[in-house]
Amino acid sequence: MKELSLYNLPLHCRYSTRLKYYDYSQAGAYFVTVCSQNRECMFGDISNGEMRLNSAGKLVEKWWVELNHKYKDIALDAFVVMPNHVHGIIVLTTGNVGAVHEPPKDKAICELSSKRVIHELPLQKNKIERRNMVIPRIMGFFKMNSAKHINGLRNTAGISVWQRNYYEHVIRNEASLGKIREYIVNNPLKWEDDIENPENSAIRELPLQEGRAKDYYEKIF
**Chain segment 128-151, per-residue pLDDT in tens:** 555 567 899 999 999 999 999 999
Count the alpha carbons within 13 Å of 162 in the hemisphere toward its beta carbon. 24
Distances (CA, A) of 40 to 10, 35, 197: 23, 9, 9
Residue 206 — very low, low, confident or very high, per pLDDT cuts 50/70/90?
Answer: low
Give the chain's length.
221
In a domain, 203, yes or no: no
Residue 132 belongs to domain spanning: 11-189
**Chain segment 48-96, per-residue pLDDT in tens:** 999 999 999 999 999 999 999 999 889 999 999 999 999 999 999 874 4
In a domain, 195, yes or no: no
CATH number of the domain bearing residue 17: 3.30.70.1290
Contact partners, residue 205, CB within 8 Å, separation at least 6: none
Count helices and strands in the chain by DSSP H and E runs: 5, 8
Look at the chain and report how many structural domains it folds into: 1
In Å, the largest CA–CA distance within the chain is 58
In a domain, 214, yes or no: no
